Amino acid sequence: MKTLVILSHPNHKNSRVTQALVQAPSEVESVTVRNIDKLYGTDFTAIDVEAEKVAHEAADRIVYMFPIHWFNLTPMLKAYMNAVWQYSWAFGEGGYALAGKEMQVIAGAAEETYTHGSLIQYTTAEILAPIEASSYYTSMTYNHPIVFTNSNAVSDEGLKEWQQIVKAHLESPLGSNVKGVSLRKKLE
């Protein structure tokens, strides 16, 4: 099984959590990490769309790893999806390049109160709905997202535990963490 990790952090040098989480893949076989903010900076016109497509096509499981910023993806990751997930490749006529692949989100979030009736009023799974819907739209299987909350307060020990959780997920066989599957073929 091949895994592609797309890492995005607008300020990777000052990152503690995301930088630690991305160490876990180096201990797992057949995992490729692409740090898109490092590769392309903030210039989304510089994204090498063909290279990114090839990287996605080679993977069985695709992991998008990022800190939650304003209850959303990082700006570069959103721009990256806009550029790479193209018509006739990811969706639309003949667009089945991502079909059957697993999408796994791994994110950090500083807040803790991701519950109904709390300040945020949404769960972490709910705030990630756009990427879940995008996965189904492009014929992918969507895994339960892994969101590490209270991320700014985590101890070094806690961070090591989170790394082990990431490692275990990366090592898990395909199909172990499925939240939902695409209905695309059925609906066409």
Ligand X SMILES: Cc1cc2nc3c(=O)[nH]c(=O)nc-3n(C[C@H](O)[C@H](O)[C@H](O)COP(=O)(O)O)c2cc1C
Span interacting with ligand X, options 34-42, 65-73, 82-90, 136-144, rule CB under 6 A: 65-73
CB of 72 to ligand X, least distance (A): 7
Q: Which two tokens stand for residue 156?
A: 């070094």
Beta 102-108 vs 3-7: how paired, if at all?
Answer: unpaired
What mask of x and - would describe binding to ligand X in positions 83 to 112, judged by CB under 6 A? -------------------------xxxx-
Which one, 18 or 139, has the nearer CB to ligand X?
Answer: 18
CB of 70 to ligand X, least distance (A): 5
Given 25, 67, 95, 145, the residue binding ligand X (CB under 6 A): 67
What mask of x and - would describe binding to ligand X in positions 18 to 37, judged by CB under 6 A? x-------------------
Task: Pick left, alpha or beta for residue 30 (phi over 0 → left; psi -120 to 50 → alpha; otherwise beta).
Answer: left
Given 44, 71, 96, 137, the residue binding ligand X (CB under 6 A): 71
What residue type is assigned to position 124 of the chain?
T
CB of 152 to ligand X, least distance (A): 5
What's the rounded Cα separation, in Å, for the pair 115 and 128?
14
CB of 154 to ligand X, least distance (A): 9
Given 4, 7, 65, 68, the residue binding ligand X (CB under 6 A): 68
Asked if 65 and 96 count as a contact pair (C-beta separation under 8 A), the reply is no
Ranges within 136-165 binding ligand X (CB under 6 A)? 151-152
DSSP code string of 86-121: -BTTTBSTT--TTTT-EEEEEEE-S----STTSSS-
Which of 174, 176, 143, 165 lies closest to 2 in space, CA to CA?
A: 174
Residues with Cβ within 8 Å of 146's Cβ and at least 6 positions away in sequence, in order, are: 104, 105, 106, 107, 165, 166, 169
# residues contacting ligand X (CB under 6 A)? 16
What's the rounded Cα separation, in Å, for the pair 40 and 177?
31
Site residues (CB under 6 A) for ligand X?
A: 9, 15-18, 67-71, 108-111, 151-152
